[in-house]
Structure 1
Amino acid sequence: MIVVTAAGGPTGTEVVRALRGRGERVRAVVATPRPRPELDALGAEVVVADLTGDLFPALGGADALYLVWPNFDPREETGAPAVLRAAARAGVGRLVYHSVLRPQARSMPHHAAKDRVEEALDAVVAGTGARWRVLQPCAYADNLDAAVPAAGDTGQLPSPWGLGTAQSFVDLRDVAEAAAVLLTEDGLDSGTFEAAGPEELTAPDVAALLTAHLGREVAAVDADPPADDGSYARRCLRAMFAEYRAHGFTGSPRVLTALLGRPPRTFADHLAAR
């Protein structure tokens, strides 16, 4: 049995899908007791649990845990180690943490939180017999999906990360497949694995790919980041876009290629599958 947390979100659901595609039994942990037709259709056991509460019922009998913490949640720095510690003490032998590419870029609060979780991993498993693994994805190609219809209508791709720096967008399906490898295959303990897409794309590069995909001219335009509303999530977003604007967010695809046994999907591949 493999437990996947935040399973109602895009990442968790896709990891459940990848695991079920391998024939694995999956317990999908969600935060609220509402219908989950997609998880039900995948044949997952759906369990409602608070990640900051008692997780023993959700962890009982599990062989592995994939810990996805909800996006931009200020409790991650302390909450994620607590969940991993509880899992190790419950006898879960394989702990896989969903981190982020370049967590040491501490100008971004949500990266800094993940960096501190990674720092705590050895102490978390000490004396338990559990072993850890970490997946560090780049920004998802899927994050731009909502902009595609609008680009078709307006001919513009707004870019809050500017026009001159690049990102190595990775398809979420590839991230989920890599997660399934880390959850099910041997020889990967104590490893930290980057998951970056195969291209370094600026916003104008993405606009050119949208032009080819949509059959109409799309231009990238510089855009302001979301306004500051005082929330932790908005502070993280603004810091993230400032970092991307200054330095980009790129990585090598070679680690992901090795995990998948094939090259990662390109952005054009991603668009073609929408």
Structure 2
Amino acid sequence: MIVVTAAGGPTGTAVVRALRARGERVRAVVATPRPRPELEALGAEVVAADLAGDPAPALAGADALYLVWPNFDPREADGAPAVLRAAARAGAARLVYHSVLRPQVRSMPHHAAKDRVEEALDGAVAGTSARWRVLQPCAYADNLDAQVAAAAGTGELRSPWGLEQAQSFVDLRDVAKAAVVLLTGDGLDSGTFEAAGPEELTAPDVAGLVGEHLGREVTAVDAAPPEDDGSYARRCLTTMFAEYRAHGFTGSPRVLTALLGRPPRTYAEHLRG
């Protein structure tokens, strides 16, 4: 049994789908007890649990855990190590933590939280037979899908990360496939694996590819990022876009290529579906 947390979100659902496609038994852990037809249709066992509470019932009988923490949740730095410890003590042999590319950039609070979780991994498995692995994805190409849809009508691609710096957008399907490899493959223990797309694209580059896909001219427009309103989530977004504007968010595709056994999807391939 493989347990996937935050399974109601895009990442968790994609990992559940990829695991079920290869016939793995999956327990999909969600935050609230309401119908989850998208997960039930995949044949996953759906369990509601508060990751910051008592995760033990959701982890019972797990052979492996894929730990996704909900986005921009201030409890991650303390809560994720606690879940990893609970899974190790429950007998899960393989723990895979969904981190982020460059967690050491501590100007972004959500990156800093993931860096602290990675730091706690050895302690989380100490005294057990569990071993850990880490996946560090770049920004998802899928995050731009709503802007692409809007650009079909407006001819503008609004970019809160500015117009000059590039990102190595990665297709979520490739991230999910890499997660499956880490959950099921041998020889990967104590490894940290980056998952970056194959191209470094600025917003104008993306707009050009979107325009080709839509069959119309699309222009990248510098859009103001959200202002910090004092909340943790907004502070994460504000500092994230400030980092992207200053330095971009790029990485090498070599590790993801090795995990997939093929090059990651390009952004044009993502647009084609």
TM-score bin (small chain) = over 0.9
Letter in 2 for 1:197: G
Task: Give the whole-Å Cα distance in 1 for the aligned partners of 2:227 and 2:191.
Answer: 38
> AA paired with 2:132?
W
Unpaired runs of 5+ residues, structure 2, are none
Q: Spell out the pairing of 1:74-85 with structure 2 (5 A cutoff).
A: 74-85=74-85
Partner residue in 2 for 1:217: 217
Matches within 5 A, 1:245-260: 245-260=245-260
Cα distance in 2 between the residues matched to 1:59 and 1:119 = 22
Query: How many angstroms apart in 1 are the aligned matches of 2:55 and 2:205?
Result: 44
Aligned to 1:91: 91
Does structure 1 residue 71 correspond to structure 2 residue 87? no
**Number of the residue aligned with 2:230:** 230
TM-score by length of 1: 0.99
1:88-116 alpha-carbon deviations (Å, 9 max, x no partner): 01111100000000000111000000000
Give a deviation string over 1:195-235, Cα, whole Å, max 9, x none: 00000000000000011000110000111101222210000
Q: Secondary structure of 1:87's partner?
A: helix
CA offset digits 1:6-30 (Å, max 9, x no partner) = 0000000000000001110000000
Give the secondary-structure state (helix, strand or coil) at the position aligned to 1:263. coil
Q: Distance in 2 between matches of 1:153 and 1:2?
A: 42
Runs of 4+ in 1 over 2 A off after TM superposition: none
Question: How many Å separate the matches in 2 of 1:54 and 1:35?
Answer: 21
Q: Give the Cα separation in 2 of the matches to 1:59 and 1:112.
A: 26
Separation of aligned partners in 2, 1:62 and 1:99: 21
AA matched with 2:159: S
Give the corresponding residue for 1:20: 20
TM-score by length of 2: 0.99
Give me the whole-angstrom Cα distance separating, in 1, the residues matched to 2:186 and 2:271: 33
Q: Give 3-state SS (helix, strand or coil) of 1:217's partner.
A: coil
Query: Which residue is 1:194 aligned to?
Result: 194
Question: SS of the counterpart of 1:53?
Answer: coil
- The AA in structure 1 aligned to 2:203 is A
Deviations along 1:227-264, one digit per CA (max 9) or x if unpaired, are: 22221000000000000000000000000000000000
CA-to-aligned-CA distance 1:153-207 (integer Å, 9 cap, x gap): 1111111111110000000000000000000111000000000000000000000
Paired with 1:176 and 1:200, the residues of 2 have a C-alpha distance of 21
Q: How does 1:65-214 map to 2 (within 5 A)?
A: 65-214=65-214
C-alpha separation in 2, matches of 1:136 and 1:216: 35
Give ranges in structure 1 of 5+ residues lacking alignment: none
Aligned Cα root-mean-square deviation (Å):
0.6
Moved more, 225-234 or 199-208: 225-234
Measure, in 2, the Cα distance between the counterparts of 1:54 and 1:75.
14
Shift of 1:149: 1.6
Aligned length: 273
* 1:53 aligned partner: 53
- 1:118 deviation in Å? 0.2
